[in-house]
Every structure is written in C-alpha cells, then in structure tokens.
A and B are shown apart, each in its own frame.
Chain A
Amino acid sequence: MRHSQGTEAQADPLAVRRTRVCATFALLAVLLLVAATLNLCLGSLHVPLSDLLDVLAGRDRTSTVYQVIWSIRLPRLIAAGLLGGALALSGLLLQTFFNNPIAGPYILGVSSGAKLVVAATMILVVGSSGVLTSWMLVLAAFVGSTLAMVFVLVVSQRIRSASMLIVAGVMVGYICSALTDFLITFASDANIVNLRNWSQGSFSGINWTDVATLTVVVVPAAAFALALSKPMAAYQLGERYALSVGVNVRAFRVGLIALSSLLAACVTAFAGPISFVGIAVPHIVKRLLGTSRPLVVVPASFLGGAIFCLACDLIARTALAPTEVSISAVTALFGAPVVIAILLGRQRQVD
C-alpha cells in the first residue's frame, strides 16, 4: 500500500489493476500454449500428444510424424504466430495514429497495396529470372504497403471525418485488389495457382527460410513498437497534449506509420492479406486488460494476435479438410462482428 493514509474501504485500485493485467497475461499464455499444441496435433495426420513430445524432443527422426511436424506444421505454426502478432500490432499502431478504433492495415487498404506490388513482382520476376527470395517479397510488400499508406494519408489530410477515412481506405483496397486480379488473370504461368492461393490469404507452404526472414523483420519491429509505448501513452490524449509532454510528434508519427506498414507488409508477403485481426485483437485485449495503457497493450496485442491467427489457421486447415479455407475468410468471420460491436459501443457512448 503506497498510501497508508488511504481512507478508501475497497482495495487499492492500482493493485486491482495489476492483478487484472497479470491474470490477462497468464490467460493469454495458456491460450497460446493450447492453440500451439492443437495446431501441431490436429490435421490430416492426427498426432497424439505423447508422440508430439517425442518428436519435439528430437526422437523418431525417420518417422512421418517427425517430417510433418518439423517441416510443415512447426514452421507454419511459428509463422502464423509471429504474423498474427505483427497484424495485431500493425492495427494497434494505426489506431493510435488515426485515433480511430476501426483503423487497421486491411481496412485502410495497406494490405491490398502490399498484395498488388507483391503480385506484380512475382509475375515479373518469375517470368524473367524465376528466382524469388523471401526478402524480395518483403521488400515488394513494403513498397506496396507504403504507397497505399501514403495515399490514405494524403486523403486523411483533406478529410477530417474518421468514417470517411475508413471508406477511402476500403476504396484503395478495392482498387488494389482489382488490379491484382487483372494481373493474375493475364499472367499465364505455372505459378498462377500459388499466386491465387496466396492472394486469398493462407499460411500454407511456409518453410524455415521464410520463418527466418519474417522473424528477423517482425521481432525487432515488435520490440520497436514496445519502445514507442511511452509516446503512445502521451498520444492517447491527442497530438497537442503529446507535444506538450515532450513527444517529438512528427518523428513519432513517421515511426508509427513506418512500423505499421512494415509489419503489415511482412504479413502480406508471406501469407497474403489477412483481414480484421488488426482491429479485433487490440480491441478484445484492451477489454480483457481493462486499460488501454500501451506498455501492457502492445505485448498483449502481440500475444493475442498470435493466438487469434493460430486458432483461425487451425479452423482454416481442419474445418473442411482436406480443402483449406482461406485464412482471411476465417478471420473475417470472427473479426468483423468485433468491428460491429465497436461501432455499436461508440454509438452508445455518443447517446
């Protein structure tokens, strides 16, 4: 108890809050473990838990189970976890930037911009040299997401309405998706099937090289986002108050945009555009934590995004097996209702 003279009968609110934050992180950790285990065990080949532990410990190296776990499910699991976290963070950063709870990389067209440039790069490069490294994909996606982001920013300078901003973003998304579809239609290549799958959004076919690349991008970017939690806390009261408590607002805004574009680009490069994770996860996580304090919301969103994408990927793989549903279909199914809930909540606040 800090304030011994405290007259309040109820427990110290600070302690209550701390307990709630700790409980939320414990819950997220358990959920992550459960989701990861289910993702490794379930699928066309069911792996019992005992076998899973054996295989993870490095035994039975010749078995099919070992192959399935180590070369298919584990890289996919790690990719889905990291990219899910990246998406949630990207959304959180954009929501901070625009002070709008339904801003996110997908709805603002940032993911679609990345998709367009990646598709163009795939077709051009595969058509000419045929060598396409995962780094080239990330770079192409970053170029695309930044272009779309810049466009949305220009629009947001001209219109002050938060809902019009979202509409503009959705339109950018449609334009980019339409152009991507044209590209895919006109490209006559053996890779067309892959391209189509990827442009729908999927974690399938991710290998260890991809995992290495995306780890190198996502982990430092996430750490950087955590380092921004102090200016983010100041920015919660708006640009002017942030400036008044010593935030270099211009540099901070550039940082937010660059980081969220990079995170969204990385996701799109490896898994295609994935919808609604960036909006739904930060919203749910804040409600669980009972606070919007960035220092706890940033890591919790990353964990929450990982869990959300693992769960959605599990559904995408197993619901209609052996066919895979696109991951974006599943995330939209669970994420879009959250957006509606946010809108209803805001309406109630206004009334």
Chain B
Amino acid sequence: MTAREEGQAMQPMLKTEELAVGYGASPLLAGVDLSVTPGQIVTLIGPNGAGKSTLLRTVAGELAPLGGVAYLSGRRLDKLSDRERALELSVLLTERLRTDLMTCEDVVETGRLPHTGRLGILSPDDHDRVRAAMELVGVWEFRTNDFMRLSDGQRQRVLLARAICQEPRLLVLDEPTSYLDIRYQIELLGVLRQLVATRGLGILMSLHELPLARRISDWVVCVKDGDITMQGSPEQVFVPEVIDALYDLEPGVYDATTGSVELPADRR
C-alpha cells in the first residue's frame, strides 16, 4: 500500500466517489471508488464487457456519470468546460482512425489544440513540444509520412505522442498495447514509466496483458460483473486466487511466478 499512501499526501489527479457508469439508465458498473495520484500508474483489468472502457469513457468526459462524482485535480469533472478538461486529461483510444492527407506530425499536432488560440495555429513552442513528444515515443522519423501508410503499431505510437504533447496531468489509455508486438509493448511501458517519473503525471489505463499489467502498475483495479471486485498493489492482486476468480479460470491455470496464463495441455 506504500504507493497509495504516499499518493494520498498529494492532490489526486483523479478521484471517484461511488461513481456509476454505463449507457442509458441502468449502470454497467457502479460504486467505483478509485484515485490516481501524481506519478502513479493505475491499471484496470478484468474480462471483456466488464465495463473497463465505459469507466474510461466516463472519466474522459464522453459519457455522463449515472451516479456518484468524479474529480479531476480536485474539481468536479461535470463542472469543467470542454477546454478545461482537455488541459487536465488526454486519451489514447483503440478505435481505428481513417485520416485523409494527414502526416504523422499533423496527427500529433492536434494534441496541442487546447493550448492554441481561436484558429488553432501552433506557436514555435508548440512545435517544439510536438517534436519532443514524437522523439520520446520514437516516431519523429515518420513525421512527414502519411498516417494511413503506417503499420497499426506505429499508428498507436503516433497517437500516444499526440496524447503526450497535449500535456495533461492525467493520461487515460484504453488498451494501449493493442496492435503492438511484444517489443513495442515493452517499449511503450518504458515510455509510460518515464512519463510518470519525469513529468509526474498520472496514468489510468486498461490492459489485457496480465504480465505487462503486473510489471508496470502501481495499483491494480479488478473489474468484473458490474463491480470493482478488488483493488490493490500488483503483489496483492496478482495471486492465483484473485486472478482465477476474476477470469473464472480453473485453479492452477494462472502462474503467479511468471504472471502468465497457462493453457491446459489438452487444449494446446
């Protein structure tokens, strides 16, 4: 609990109290109490359809909460203007984009829009920050390439640079490792670690890859059947009992020492 206790001394960039999220009237996920403090990586894990994405969409302001309250840096999320929220939080989504005649640099530059004036013209300083973000993620060499000509993994990294150069206090990532091969998954985690360490921002994300989640997270939140079934440090969460129950696995399928899920031999 050390990371969490330390964090509570500082103003959390995200704090939810009894938050209920979902589409329409009945909540998909209710009673969400979580917080993300500066320098902390909080990861949501759990089976598909448990409401992880819905929770992230609500935190990002895309969906109105169905109950409870969410605070961004101490201010109520629903009281923030669109621009105020954009200065607090940026997102990386899993949906596939279709762009027309946009270079990678163009795509990343859209992250600077909340910092620009009425016509959205970037200053030299904005351009420098775009470059810094692209270099951090390792996509500066692609800057003049058409975004549509990149591989899925490269696009994901460009979009991460976009989210970084928005310079939020909280980064919300929905399955950031989708489309990435193992090398880039590890590289991505390195970038995220560097971000929280150097810029002190907080990260809230959902991850499917349990070994990655275990290695990178300061705090893990288990989401299942419309509930937060457990939250705690990776050491507390990544134990066979918790993981087996979360994913309805047969005992012994989850290997706590390697953090990997083993397929029963007869299904291989």
Footprint of B on A, CB under 8 Å?
Answer: 2-3, 13-14, 99, 101, 227, 229-230, 233-234, 236-238, 240-241, 243-248, 286-287, 290-293, 295, 349
**Residue of A2, A286, A349 touching B124 (CB-CB under 8 A):** A2
Inter-chain contact count A-B, CB under 8 Å?
A: 94
Roughly how many angstroms separate A99 CA and B97 CA in the complex, as a whole number? 10
Shortest C-beta distance, B2 to chain A (Å), equals 32
Q: Which B residues are CB-close (under 8 A) to A293?
A: 106
Is B102 part of the contact surface with A, judged by Cβ < 8 Å? yes
Question: Least Cβ distance of A288 to chain B in Å?
Answer: 11
Residue of chain A at shortest CB distance from B143:
A13
Of A101, A243, A246, which is in contact with the most chain B CB atoms at under 10 Å from its CB? A246
B120 interface neighbour in A230, A243, A244, A290, Cβ under 8 Å: A230
Given contacts A243-B82, A244-B89, A2 and B98 within 8 Å (CB-CB): no
Chain A residue numbers with a CB within 8 Å of B60 are 240, 243-244
- Complex Cα gap A113–B107 (Å): 36
- Among A99, A236, A246, A349, contact of B82 (Cβ-Cβ < 8 Å): A246
Binds A, one of B70-78, B109-117, B194-202, B210-218: B109-117
Could you list 26 examples of A-B contacts with CB < 8 Å? A2-B124, A3-B128, A227-B119, A230-B113, A233-B113, A234-B110, A237-B107, A237-B110, A240-B95, A241-B91, A241-B93, A241-B110, A243-B62, A243-B82, A244-B60, A244-B86, A244-B91, A246-B86, A246-B113, A247-B82, A248-B82, A287-B101, A290-B101, A292-B101, A293-B106, A295-B121
A296 to chain B, nearest CB (A): 11
Determine the distance from Cα of A116 to Cα of B181 in the docked complex, in whole angstroms.
56
Give, as a whole number of angstroms, the nearest-CB distance from B244 to chain A: 34
Contacts of A14 in B (CB 8 A): 127
Give Cα distance in the complex from A248 to B61, angstroms: 11
Q: Which residues of B contact A234 (CB under 8 A)?
A: 110, 113, 120
Question: A2-B124, A229-B120, A244-B60 are known contacts. Are A349 and B143 too (CB-CB below 8 A)?
Answer: no
Q: Is the CB of B128 within 8 A of A227?
A: no
Given A2-B124, A295-B119, A349-B148, CB of A236 within 8 Å of CB of B99: yes
- Is B193's beta carbon under 8 Å from chain A? no
Chain B residues with CB under 8 A of A245: 86, 90, 110-111, 113-114, 166
A243 proximity list for chain B (CB < 8 A): 60-62, 82
Q: Are B127 and A2 in contact (CB under 8 A)?
A: yes
| 14 extra A-B contacts, CB within 8 A, seeds A244-B166, A246-B84, A291-B101 | A101-B100, A230-B113, A230-B116, A230-B118, A234-B113, A238-B95, A240-B95, A241-B110, A243-B61, A244-B86, A245-B113, A291-B102, A292-B101, A349-B148
Kindly state the separation between the CA atoms of A230 and B115 in the bound complex, as whole angstroms.
11
Measured in the bound complex, the distance between the Cα atoms of B60 and A240 in whole Å is: 9
Residues from chain B with a CB closer than 8 A to the CB of A287 are 101
- The listed residue with most A CB atoms (<10 A of its CB), out of B113, B114, B144, is B113
| B85 proximal to A (CB < 8 A) | yes
Q: Which 9 A-B pairs have the closest CB atoms?
A: A230-B120, A246-B86, A246-B83, A292-B101, A246-B114, A244-B91, A246-B82, A245-B113, A13-B144
Query: With a CB–CB cut-off of 8 A, which chain A residues contact B91?
Result: 240-241, 244
Q: Which chain A residues lie closer than 8 Å to B148 at the CB level?
A: 349
Contact (Cβ within 8 A) A244 B100:
no
Name, among A245, A290, A292, the residue most crowded by chain B CB atoms within 10 Å (CB to CB).
Answer: A245
Output the least CB separation between B118 and chain A (Å): 7
Nearest Cβ in chain B — how far from A16, in angstroms?
A: 9
Question: How far, in whole Å, are A228 and B71 apart by their CA atoms in the complex?
Answer: 30
> Are the CB atoms of B120 and A233 closer together than 8 Å?
yes
A229 touches B119 (CB 8 A): yes
Q: Is B131 an interface residue (CB 8 A)?
A: yes
Query: How far, in whole Å, are A229 and B90 apart by their CA atoms in the complex?
Result: 21
Residues of B within 8 A of A286 (CB): 100-101
Residues on B with C-beta less than 8 A from A99 are 98
Distance to closest chain A CB from B91 (angstroms)? 4
- Asked whether B119 lies within 8 Å of A230 as measured between CB atoms, the reply is yes
**Docked pose: A234 CA to B110 CA in angstroms:** 6
Residues in A with CB closer than 8 Å to B116 are 230
* B65 shortest CB reach to chain A, Å: 16
Q: How far is the CA of A3 from the CA of B130 in the complex (A)?
A: 12
Which of chain B's residues have a CB closer than 8 A to the CB of A236? 99-100, 102, 110
Name B172's closest neighbour in chain A (CB-CB).
Answer: A244
Q: How far is the CB of B14 from chain A (nearest CB, A)?
A: 15
Q: Which of B100, B116, B131 has the most CB of A within 10 A?
A: B100
> Closest Cβ of chain B: how far from A92's Cβ, in Å?
11
When chains A and B are docked, how far (Å) is the Cα of A291 from the Cα of B105? 12
Minimum CB distance partner of A295 in chain B: B119
A244 neighbours in B (Cβ, 8 Å) = 60-61, 86, 89-91, 166
For B144, list chain A residues within 8 Å (CB): 13
Most buried by B among A14, A99, A244: A244
Which residues of A sit under 8 angstroms from B111, Cβ to Cβ? 245
Distance of B185 from chain A, by nearest CB (Å)? 22
